[in-house]
């Protein structure tokens, strides 16, 4: 190899080394920048992940309820009760309307907890019973620093804050309906004075019980229903809830009617036509409406005469309730709770949402009903005979009917009182005038103000809202 060629190779190697050095210098800065950017990204991700982990662990910064005003309001609810174990919260199940309602109230941070919310409910519907106008009163988080109706300001609020211009209230209906189940809806709300109570300020309650004509004599039922009107002792037409302090059974029924759901069907004879028993009263006893309906169904089947209602209301001659099954739960609706002077605030968008949801439920139900009706008619066309059985009474029907007043009777009121006195749920005391009084005992699960047995309006006031007429 010539000396010139060797020299040229050495020059090229030197040039290559120089280029490598330049390339290394030029690529070093981006690598460093990329490294820095990656580190920062990692930091942001770690911070975000840490925040999410804290949120999952429940370590998120607590919401400061003391910085916000509260407002005493009434909420009007509609719900389909068929899938729930009742309205009120219970110890043995969380499948209640009230449980879902308080979950929504806390999720939206409208309340801190139930204990501090000043909560009252108008009525207590039982398992399977629905409502179109259940009303509750409660203190909710508010935007009103200017002291509107029902507004409660936080402590240490400056004068400047109190005098600032009014702002729109929180959209309570929309907030709650976005997190409630589809079969529980808030219809509207109303601001109320701080002392207003859904429990004690309700003027009247209206229940509806729907039923098909079937073989029933609905005209006879309508005549009999009128006998419920007025003030009577309904101990033979309810479940006596003596253990919960219900010792007085006089109630006032303002109206009781049986009428067709569609008016033009009044004089028709179609067994599939629907009717409704509508009853309006000041207050109701436990299972009162379902017991009253059960007796009407017996009258409609002509197993009893309308006069049996007068006999059941005559506690001097019939002081003990005869044993009979009450009507089933699912056709019953708490249709209206009436209050004087409330100005309900509706959100039109939400009304349409609720209406749309109910239309969907109705469409599914009416189509299913007519699918079944088509099958029934098909079997009748093949010689099948329409059953005379009434499917709206609990239990099984006896082959040989036994009149109500000839049946064995339940325990008397006095016997039930003695039973719970022995168990410590009730206590007897001698009053100042020598009359004996009975009141809630120390071992009772729930607290109630003491009250006397005879003509105790206080006991009635408490029991009216313990268990409603469903």
Q: Which residues are catalytic, by number? A: 126
The CA distance from 431 to 439, in Å, is 11
> Which residue intervals of 265-347 are DSSP H helices?
288-300, 307-313
The CA distance from 20 to 23, in Å, is 5
The CA distance from 88 to 413, in Å, is 26
Which residues, including other chains, have CB under 8 Å from residue 388's CB and lie 6 or more apart?
215
Structure tokens at 43: 């930091």
DSSP three-state, residue 75: strand
Q: Residue 114's closest CA among 134, 92, 88, 132?
A: 88
Going by DSSP bridges, is the β-strand pair 332-338/130-141 parallel, antiparallel, or unpaired? parallel
Structure tokens at 65: 């309820």
Which residues, including other chains, have CB under 8 Å from residue 243's CB and lie 6 or more apart?
416, 420, 425, 426
Write out 228-288 in H/E/C secondary structure: HCEEEECHHHCCCCHHHCCCCCEEEEEEEEEEECCHHHCCCCCCCCEEEEEEEECCCCCCH
Find how far residue 96's CA is from the centre of its chain.
Answer: 7
The CA distance from 217 to 168, in Å, is 54
């Amino acid at each position: 190899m010539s000396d010139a060629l060797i020299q040229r190779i050495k020059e090229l190697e030197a040039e290559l080394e120089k280029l490598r050095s330049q390339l290394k210098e030029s690529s070093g800065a981006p690598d460093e920048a990329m490294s820095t950017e990656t580190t920062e990204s990692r930091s942001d991700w770690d911070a975000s992940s840490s925040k999410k982990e804290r949120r999952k662990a429940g370590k998120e910064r607590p919401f400061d309820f003391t910085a916000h005003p509260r407002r005493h309001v009434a909420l009007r609810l509609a719900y389909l009760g068929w899938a729930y174990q009742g309205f009120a919260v219970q110890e043995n199940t969380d499948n209640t309307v009230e449980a879902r309602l308080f979950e929504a109230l806390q999720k939206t941070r409208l309340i801190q907890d139930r204990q501090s919310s000043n909560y009252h409910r108008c009525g207590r519907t039982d398992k399977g019973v629905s409502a179109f106008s259940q009303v509750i009163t409660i203190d909710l988080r508010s935007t009103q620093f200017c002291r509107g109706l029902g507004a409660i300001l936080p402590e240490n609020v400056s004068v400047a804050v109190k005098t600032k211009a009014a702002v729109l209230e929180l959209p309570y209906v929309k907030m709650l309906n976005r997190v409630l189940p589809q079969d529980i809806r808030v219809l509207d709300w109303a601001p109320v004075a701080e002392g207003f109570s859904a429990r004690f300020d309700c003027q009247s309650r209206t229940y509806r019980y729907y039923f098909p004509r079937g073989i029933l004599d609905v005209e006879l039922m309508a005549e009999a229903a009128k006998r419920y009107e007025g003030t009577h002792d309904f101990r033979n037409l309810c479940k006596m809830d003596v253990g919960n302090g219900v010792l007085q059974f006089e109630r006032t029924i303002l109206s009781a009617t049986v009428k067709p759901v569609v008016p033009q069907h009044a004089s028709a004879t179609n067994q599939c036509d629907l009717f409704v028993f509508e009853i309006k009263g000041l207050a109701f006893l436990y299972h009162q409406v379902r017991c009253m309906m059960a007796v009407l169904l017996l009258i409609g089947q002509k197993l009893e005469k309308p006069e049996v209602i007068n006999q059941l209301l005559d506690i001097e001659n019939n002081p003990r309730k005869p044993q009979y099954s009450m009507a089933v739960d699912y056709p019953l609706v708490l249709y209206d709770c009436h209050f004087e002077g409330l100005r309900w605030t509706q959100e039109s968008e939400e009304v349409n949402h609720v209406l749309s949801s109910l239309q969907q439920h109705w469409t599914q139900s009416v189509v299913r009903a007519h699918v079944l009706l088509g099958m029934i008619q098909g079997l009748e066309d093949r010689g099948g005979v329409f059953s005379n059985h009434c499917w709206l009474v609990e239990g099984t029907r006896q082959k040989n009917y036994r009149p109500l007043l000839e049946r064995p009777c339940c325990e008397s009121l006095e016997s039930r009182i003695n039973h719970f006195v022995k168990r410590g749920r009730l206590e007897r005391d001698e009053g100042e005038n020598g009359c004996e009084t009975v009141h809630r005992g120390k071992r009772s699960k729930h607290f109630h103000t003491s009250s006397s047995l005879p003509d105790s309006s206080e006991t009635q006031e408490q029991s009216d809202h313990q268990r409603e007429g469903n």
